[in-house]
Amino acid sequence: MKPISKWTPAKVLRVMVLSAAMMAVSACGGKPEVGNAGGKMEVVSELPEPVARDESGQLLAFKLGADDLLSVKVFGSEDASVDRVRIDKSGRLSVPVAGVVNAGGLSIEELEDQLEARLRANYFRNPQVSVNLLEVESAKLTLDGQVAKPGQYPVTPNMTLIQAVASAEGTTENARLGEVVIFRTVNGQKYAALYNLSAIRSGNYADPAVFANDTIVIGDSSARRLFRDFIQIIPLLTTPVIVAFQR
């Protein structure tokens, strides 16, 4: 084990939180666990991301999908450009001059390369194509509870919890900002994480990234009850609480 002096403040805090949780709830096999309506939960150190990263730790490029809305600009050619074009249900995109391309599953950069190749085949010399993402319909998350407009919302690259809440026009006037739960499934494993929006806005801890298929519930007492054994010992102003549901 590394000397405590070499640990970051966040790491020291996490160890303190986990130690407190282990003493506060019943232990099974040496792991902090607690019962809930669906079975057992276990405290974990982080909420996994349901996306891949490259060797440098950067998120891999966003992949386009059905119903995503794009603009395509071909520099020097208005005839080959289009202000608004949507990928169809089968993942195909129809662009003037370039024709129909299979855009589903491609990154924006890969689509630009394909369109440039098509234009070169149509006698364009050194075509330069710029694709912009106008609306993301293929990747959505759900916002529920005490937000102005509950529902499903598109997920943009590098979206955070605060940005997701803003997409639903913010919280209601009397929303319980300390009762924000993100539900997520990664590789079949279900997780729930309890956050305090006021603490995030104050800079007490990082604004977490959110992803497609996340469900975010604000101010819902039933969601908060999942964490009832942890709330008394863990200050949400300094750290979130994250649990994994036993399969």
Q: List the chain domain ranges.
A: 4-53+139-245, 69-135
Predicted pLDDT at 137: 82
pLDDT at 228 over 90: no
User: Given this chain, do its domains 4-53+139-245 and 69-135 carry the same CATH topology?
Assistant: no
Superfamily of domain 69-135: wza like domain (3.30.1950.10)
Mean local confidence (pLDDT), 229-238: 58
More confident: 15 or 207 = 207
pLDDT tens digits, 155-164: 877 899 999 9
pLDDT at 85 over 80: yes
More confident: 237 or 201 = 201
Mean local confidence (pLDDT), 47-54: 75
Contact indicator for 33, 25 with CB cutoff of 8 Å: yes
Predicted pLDDT at 200: 94
Q: How far is CA 12 from CA 2, 17, 207, 238, in A?
A: 11, 9, 19, 12
Predicted pLDDT at 232: 56
Residue at token pair 């497609």:
212
Superfamily of domain 4-53+139-245: Outer membrane lipoprotein wza domain like (3.10.560.10)
Q: How far is CA 110 from CA 79, 101, 129, 237, in A?
A: 22, 11, 11, 42
The DSSP bridge partners found for residue 192 are 183, 243
Predicted pLDDT at 44: 85
pLDDT at 76 over 70: yes
Report residue 7's pLDDT band, with 50, 70 and 90 as the boundaries.
Answer: very low
The answer for 126, left when phi > 0, alpha when psi is -120 to 50, beta otherwise, is left
Q: What pTM does this model have?
A: 0.65
